Amino acid sequence: MTNHLRPDASGQVGVTPESAGWEYLSFGVVRLTPGQTHQANTGGNEVALVPQEGRLRVEAGGQTFDLTRRDVFSELPHVLYLPPGVAYRVSGEGVFAWGGAPASGALPLRLFRPEEMRVELRGGANATRQVSHILGPDLPAERLLLYEVYTPSGNWSGWPPHRHDGRLGSLYIEETYHYRVSPPQGWAVHRNYSPEDGEDELLLARDGDLILSRRGYHPVAAAPGSNVYYLNFMAGEAQGEQRRLPPVDEAQWAWMRQDWAGRAMPLPFPPPGLEG
């Protein structure tokens, strides 16, 4: 199974635990044109719906919810949480992402509003990025975690490189990256690497791409001129309050949390007056 999936002609892409070869996380992106609907049942999963653009209406549990968003670069979303065993129907025009993970049904159907979502700036220097906790550990879910990350032109995110694959004391958590890029012809570089397994892949992420993080470390760099968004759905062995536990940094880069400038060499080089 590849870790890099391109959307189809309609902009849709997705994985299941079976197709991804992992245990917990399902994910998909759906694009609706006028007159189309998407109908599904959450089955044994808790499911979260995240609008990316357009005007959508969701009917679920005897209630109706309007999910409207100009686009991912303009405003935070409303996120609809659905417990297991709920049939739902989405209509309207636009794009939404959904993700699910096995759950017991301990939590009710709920709409999370932008004002409930914690937004933070992480890093510094050219590793500055914004992380929006659209269903972070401060909000209730059984296994799911959702973040929207904004990496400005020329910056890095996921830095220092970190892992949550059950190794080096980390919890095992599966993760998807769904990329949107402004302008749409822009791109990012996504690296997946696991030294213990001899795995190292460098992936070119374009607008609409889906990349899976199965194991190891997974930093991202936005090309100059490309403003990069990615939606992270995460699920694994962490449940409830365990979802607060942080990942584990790669030891050789952990020092950068105290020096985000990264000991950058001064330019010009050599300094004026020291030319040979």
Single-letter residue type at 250: E
> Would you say residue 153 has pLDDT above 90?
yes
Task: Convert the pLDDT of each residue in 44-102 to its tens digit.
Answer: 999 999 999 999 999 999 999 999 999 999 999 999 999 999 999 999 999 999 999 99
Residue 6 belongs to some domain of the structure: no
> Would you say residue 268 has pLDDT above 70?
yes
pTM across the whole model:
0.96
113: tokens are 């509003």
Residue 96 belongs to some domain of the structure: yes
Q: For the range 201-205, what are the long-range contacts, defined as Cβ-Cβ under 8 Å and sequence gap of 24 or more?
A: 201/3, 203/3, 203/4, 205/4, 205/177, 205/179, 205/181, 205/230
Residue 162's domain is classified under what CATH number? Answer: 2.60.120.10
pLDDT of residue 276: 56
Please check whether residue 248 is in contact with residue 160, taking contact to mean a CB–CB distance below 8 angstroms: no
Residue 140 preceded by cis peptide, ω within 30: no
Residue 256 belongs to some domain of the structure: no
Please check whether residue 101 is in contact with residue 136, taking contact to mean a CB–CB distance below 8 angstroms: no
Residue 75 buriedness (CB in 10 A; 0-12 / 13-18 / 19+) = exposed
Residue 276 belongs to some domain of the structure: no
Which residues, listed in sequence order, are joined to residue 232 by a DSSP beta bridge? 147, 177
- As a whole number, mean pLDDT of residues 15-44 equals 98
User: In angstroms, rounded to a whole number, what is the distance separating the alpha carbons of residues 16 and 19?
Assistant: 5
Residue 250 belongs to some domain of the structure: no
Helices (H), 76-182: none
pLDDT of residue 271: 77
Q: What is the mean pLDDT of the chain?
A: 96
User: In angstroms, rounded to a whole number, what is the distance separating the alpha carbons of residues 69 and 94?
Assistant: 9
Count of CB atoms within 10 A of residue 158's CB? 24
Residue 192 belongs to some domain of the structure: yes
Host domain of residue 99: 11-245
- Top-confidence residue, 153 or 271: 153
Task: Convert the pLDDT of each residue in 236-264 to its tens digit.
Answer: 999 999 999 999 999 999 999 999 999 99
> Would you say residue 17 has pLDDT above 70?
yes
Domain total in the chain? 1
pLDDT of residue 73: 98
pLDDT of residue 186: 98
pLDDT of residue 57: 98
Residue 78 belongs to some domain of the structure: yes
- As a whole number, mean pLDDT of residues 177-190 equals 98
pLDDT of residue 272: 78
- ∠ CA(220), CA(221), CA(226), 5° rounding? 125
Residue 237 belongs to some domain of the structure: yes
- As a whole number, mean pLDDT of residues 198-216 equals 97
